[in-house]
Amino acid sequence: MILFLTQKERRAVRRVIDLLDVDKKNFILSVLLGVLGLGAAIALSATSAWLIARASQHPPVLYLTVAAVAVRLFGISRALMRYLQRLASHQVALTGMDALRQNVYRILSTTRVDTVAKLQRGDLLARTGSDVDEVGNLVVKSLLPSIVTTIVGVGTVIGISLLSPAAGLILLLCLLVSGVIAPALNMYAAREAEMSSRHARTQLSESVVTVMDGASELQIQGRLAHVRERIERIEDSLVASTRQAAWPAGWAAALDRLAMGAAVVGALLVGIPQTRSGALAAVALAVIVLTPLAAFEGTAELPSAAVQLLRSADAATRIVDLLGEGDAPQTHPIAHTGATPRVVAENLAIGWPDGPTIARGISLDITVGSHIAIVGPSGIGKSTLLFTLAGMLPPKEGRVTIDGVDAWQADRDDVTRRITMTAEDAHIFATTVYENIRVARSDVTREEARQLLDTAGLGQWCDALPAGLDTLIGSGGTTVSGGERRRLLLARALAAPAPLVLLDEPAEHLDATTADALMDTLLSPTDQGRGIVVVTHRLSGLAKADQVIVLEQDEDGIAHVVESGTHDQLIAHAGNYRWALQQEEQ
């Protein structure tokens, strides 16, 4: 069936199977149990046929004892083997889906920021949720039935051929019709329906996420009813797609039944003359006629297995598109010299890949103990600069090194041991205050968490919460204010073990007094165990910074460093800086 996939789909399936980290022993055990279960069903049918035919000849009862016991054995084995096969196969699938999700998250954590930023949240949810589930179903609902049916089908054809080669050939042809042509027909006809269904499922995920995240805003704007109507329309299209996909499945099921009937009739047509001529025993005639009734149990699952293969291949393609084609780029480890880490930016030009250069001529030297503030108006490229310093975006020109290794090509684990960055839109999880801080370091104690909240200016806020550190926060920080959200992210960043911290607008959404006090704490020279880089559009509160770098755009819209020095030096010698500070304080 995999031959009916496109080349891109086949590559995607092979790659995600590698990411599933399938337990080969358990998978082989699942195949073995499946073969035993389906084999027991066919043996039950063949033995029952022999027993009935032989009993009609009124032999001594002892002649039938072994067959009667075998019928009981195969009947019990059929149910038992199928139950055990379900347990083993679902263990393979569930552990594989868990491994795939972990591998997807691991690869995404090192993926270019611009690639991830282009994804809509609903689409990302679909790719890491339902798409991963569909790939897991590939093992249980497609690969396993196909392998089991092939093995048992070959064995059945050989067994029937030993009694009657002509009947064996007829059974082979009918099994090919049921096991190859019917699934291929089903797969071909269902492709378009499944593609439209997949698109509708993605739209449904995006719309539901929109409603969950912004129901209040949509209600105020009077658009909630419109979005709900859109969800209903998408659900209707999903139902229509499902009905459309059901038609070829029905035809394939009918073809399976017709092939089974043809196998039975064909066995009668070739078996009766052989029995009359004495070439085939009468009891054997019953066996070759009735055994196909069970042999088609396996092929009956193959049309749905073909559709599942199509769904899984489509899901695998979407996951591979998310992760990027081919092998991960080669990274270079950062040597552990024992010295404090150092980040050096030389004549840097920055911008998003495939986008214009938004700033150039930036040079920085960041070490433990450094307290640097980068200031400039919103949209000038300060956040992009932080992403570049953290090795998450490649520079347009110049170079960023971490302990002498190019930041863009450095091993991500080595980078995160040295640098932590909190972006402006970093996520607050739907859990407790304490657990949100533990995201950065799992062994943070409750006392450390409380101290970090004090540093971030949230000590009194935490004391006023109903359950203190154990108070639940809504997903995305919906139950806290914008300023509280920023400071909670700051506490998380400070909990990270990395000695260099990059902070994007930590004082945003705070009143002027609170913002200045927070910046004063962050840039205090008393904290010599860390290097702090803060980007902000405010100039007040930077008195304790070792270096203040001011960015301004030229007539071409490209930002440059126009002033650099301490806060006091810039007030004394930089007229524009002094004037902007005065405007802030008025």
How would DSSP label each residue in 362-395? EEEEEETT-EEEEE--TTSSHHHHHHHHTTSS--
Mean pLDDT of 398-415: 89
254/260 Cα distance (integer angstroms): 10
For residue 156, what pLDDT band results from cuts at 50, 70 and 90? Answer: very high
> What does the radius of gyration of the chain's CA atoms come to, in whole angstroms?
34
312 and 384 fall within a common domain? no
- 346 and 199 in a common domain: no
For 223-293, list the strands marked E by DSSP: none
Distances (CA, A) of 231 to 124, 200, 210, 211: 18, 10, 11, 10
pLDDT one-digit tens code per residue, 342-392: 999 999 999 988 889 999 999 999 999 899 999 998 889 998 999 999 988
Residue 146 falls inside a structural domain: yes
Q: Which tens digit of pLDDT belongs to each residue from 185-244?
A: 878 777 766 666 666 777 787 788 778 777 777 788 888 888 888 888 888 888 877 777
pLDDT the model gives residue 350: 94
Please give the Cα distance from 27 to 82 (Å, whole number).
Answer: 14
Answer whether residue 361 is part of any domain: yes
Beta strands in 293-387, from DSSP E residues, in sequence order: 342-350, 359-367, 371-375
- At 335 the pLDDT is 80
pLDDT band at residue 117 under the 50/70/90 scheme: low
- Chain segment 234-273, per-residue pLDDT in tens: 888 888 777 776 776 677 778 888 999 999 999 999 999 9
Same domain, 248 and 379: no
The number of CA neighbours under 13 Å toward the Cβ of 47 is 18
Residue 457 falls inside a structural domain: no
Identify the pLDDT of residue 401. 94
Say yes or no: 94 and 28 in one domain: yes
> Which pLDDT score is estimated for 301?
87
Q: Evaluate if residue 576 carries a pLDDT over 80.
A: yes
**Which helix H or strand E contains 413, and what residues bound it?**
helix 412-418
Cα(463)–Cα(30) distance, integer angstroms: 55
For residue 427, CA distances in Å to 191, 315, 439, 478 come to 37, 26, 11, 11
Q: If you average pLDDT over residues 517-523, what whole number do you get?
A: 86
| 305 and 358 housed in the same domain | no
Specify if 482 maps to a domain: no
**184 and 224 part of one domain:** yes
Render pLDDT for 60-107 as a digit per residue (tens, 0 to 9): 888 888 989 999 999 999 999 999 999 999 999 889 888 888 888 887
Together in a domain, 243 and 353: no
For residue 167, tell me if it sits in a domain: yes
What CATH number has the domain bearing residue 581?
3.40.50.300
**How many domains is the chain built from?**
2
Q: What pLDDT, on the 0 to 100 scale, is given for residue 527?
A: 61
What is the bridge-based pairing of β-strands 500-504 and 419-422? parallel
Report residue 528's pLDDT band, with 50, 70 and 90 as the boundaries. low
CB 497 within 8 A of CB 467: no
More reliable by pLDDT, 423 or 144: 144
In this prediction, residue 123 carries a pLDDT of 64
d(CA 566, CA 525): 13
Output the pLDDT for position 409.
86
The model's pTM is 0.67
Same structural domain, 517 and 574: yes
436 pLDDT higher than 60:
yes
Same domain, yes or no, for 351 and 303?
Answer: no
C-alpha 501, offset from chain centre? 28
The pLDDT-based confidence of 510 (bands split at 50, 70, 90) is: confident
- Domain encompassing residue 400: 342-423+498-585
Residue 159 has pLDDT above 60, yes or no: yes
Judgement on whether residues 273 and 405 belong to the same structural domain of the protein:
no
